[in-house]
Amino acid sequence: MYTNVSQGAYLFQGNTLVLPDSIPDPRIYEPVPRDRIQDSFGDVEILAIPGVYKGGYIPCADLTPDRALPPGWRGINTRRALSLIAADAVADGSGPAGRLLRAYHIVQWRRESVFCGSCGSRNEDKPHELARICPVCSRHEYPRISPAIIVLIINNRGKALLAHNKNFTPGVYSLIAGFNEAGETLEATVVREVREEVGLEVGHIRYMTSQPWPFPNSLMLGFIARHAGGAIKVDGVEIEDARWFDRDRLPDLPGKGSVSRYLINLWIGGAL
């Protein structure tokens, strides 16, 4: 990664995107001009991480948690920011939402990879590669990416299963999701997570799309599946409620910009 980039940058503090008050919500995907950052946070290091599809670099910086924001600056939860900028599209690495998510993912990883996981020495950035290297034992560390499935389940009456996780905002229902485990195919993860969380069996599993989701470090892999048997029985641990819903009678849904909302919208529109 390179320092001293001349263009604007994404500025983070913990899980918060930091920007001037003068930048309205519809434009929060735009990097903050460098001179404004330097005027208010003169000593902050601006790094540039490699882009993905179109090359180039994505400048970003990370404020320490205890640093007070000066007048004229505000913070907005990065997860909420995605719903404000991505409309109904699934974010990818080529669009503004994808660049923001990539910057956020890498900033988190750098914050959590200061020390070597093998010998405890302080890591260094590896030149010309998105990696950290231990100067003592030469252990390499790369950004962590944890694959997770999310699945829209449809029954033989065309209804979709939506569930309320205990961590959701009250009243919000979304899709069944869970992390892929070692030695497990993605399709097997779909079957296991659905069985564990709502007691259903599913079949005709089909991959649809994917989305970077750095909350904290996931790659969400979206599937659709058909109900193959069983009655809803929530686990009571993660899932508090789950129901079959018609298109014209829906609860509150997850925010725009998420792969869950993308899949739900496909179903609402009759594409599934």
Q: What is the pLDDT of residue 50?
A: 82
Q: What is the pTM of this model?
A: 0.85
**pLDDT at res. 230:** 96
Report CA-CA distances (Å) from 177 to 90, 173, 219, 220. 17, 12, 12, 9
Q: Return the pLDDT at 75.
A: 93
Per-residue pLDDT tens digits for 79-120? 888 777 655 444 455 667 788 888 999 999 999 999 999 999
Task: Give the whole-angstrom CA distance, residue 116 versus residue 124.
Answer: 9
Q: Is the pLDDT of residue 3 over 50?
A: no
Q: What is the pLDDT of residue 88?
A: 43
The fold of 146-268 is: Nucleoside Triphosphate Pyrophosphohydrolase (3.90.79)
**Range 122-148 burial, b when 16+ CB lie within 10 A, else e:** ebeeeeeeebbbbeeeeeebebeeeeb
- Residue linked to tokens 């599209």: 89
pLDDT digits (tens, 9 = 90+) for 118-158: 999 999 999 888 999 999 999 999 999 999 999 999 999 99
Per domain, the residue ranges of the chain are 2-112, 146-268
Measured distance CA(81)–CA(56) in Å, rounded:
23
Q: Is 239's pLDDT higher than 80?
A: yes
pLDDT above 60 (res 41): yes
